[in-house]
């Protein structure tokens, strides 16, 4: 992280090593962080989400983290626990929903598949965070 400057973005997923430590170090360095907790595991519940600026989850990950079932309930439940998070719930071919921009509450899906779709969404979220 020595090459990064405050305000730069860090995107991480649960399939990388030392996620919790990386999020803490990124926060200490003043980075804007985006977490995709995929693949969801019990360890995610212990991650320092107070060190995360944006969270991108699919419906399964959102249900596991929140205990809620519908996308809007997932958003509400996650926001009640972490009110400072910018949260996007991806809905596959149905697009995504978020609370970040009321004008874009429901986002239309663009043609993309699998990992490319999720990673593109996450990069867009990180890029949109204020520096």
> Residues 49-71: pLDDT tens digits?
999 998 999 899 999 999 999 98
Q: Concatenated DSSP letters for the chain?
A: -TT--TT-EEEEETTSS-HHHHHHHHHHTT-EEEEE-PSP-GGGGGS-GGG-SEEEEEHHHHHHHHS--SHHHHHHHHHHH-TT-EEEEE-GGG-EEESS-GGGSEEPPPS--HHHHHHHHHHHHHHHS--
| Domain count within the chain | 1
Residue 68 lies in a domain: yes
Q: Are strands 9-13 and 32-36 parallel, antiparallel or unpaired?
A: parallel
pLDDT at position 93 is 72
Residue 112 lies in a domain: yes
Q: Is the pTM of this model over 0.75?
A: yes
Residue 3 lies in a domain: no
Contact 35, 47 (CB under 8 A): yes
Residue 118 lies in a domain: yes
Residue 94 lies in a domain: yes
Contact 62, 89 (CB under 8 A): yes
Contact 77, 67 (CB under 8 A): yes
Task: Tell me how far apart the alpha carbons of residues 94 and 108 are, in angstroms, rounded to a whole number.
Answer: 7
Mean pLDDT of the chain: 81
Residue 114 lies in a domain: yes
Mean local confidence (pLDDT), 78-105: 76
Confidence of residue 31 (pLDDT cuts 50, 70, 90): very high
Residue 16 lies in a domain: yes
Confidence of residue 125 (pLDDT cuts 50, 70, 90): low
Residues spanned by the domain of 47 = 9-128
Residue 2 lies in a domain: no
Mean local confidence (pLDDT), 32-43: 92
Q: Indicate which CATH number applies to the domain containing 34.
A: 3.40.1190.20
> Which of 11-15, 97-101, 112-116 is the most confident on average?
11-15
Q: Is 16 left (phi over 0), alpha (psi -120 to 50) or beta?
A: beta
pLDDT at position 7 is 84
């Amino acid at each position: 992280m020595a090459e990064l400057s405050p305000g730069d973005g860090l995107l991480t997923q649960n399939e990388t090593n030392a996620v919790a430590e990386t999020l803490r170090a990124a926060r200490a360095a003043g980075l804007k962080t985006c977490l995709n907790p995929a693949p969801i595991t019990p360890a995610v519940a212990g991650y320092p989400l107070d060190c995360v600026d944006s969270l991108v989850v699919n419906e399964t990950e959102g249900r596991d983290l929140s205990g809620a079932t519908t996308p809007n309930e997932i958003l509400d439940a996650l926001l009640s626990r972490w009110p400072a998070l910018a949260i996007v719930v991806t809905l596959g071919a149905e697009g995504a929903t978020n609370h970040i921009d009321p004008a874009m509450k429901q986002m239309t899906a663009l043609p993309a598949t699998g990992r490319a779709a999720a990673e593109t969404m996450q990069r867009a979220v990180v890029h949109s965070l204020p520096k």
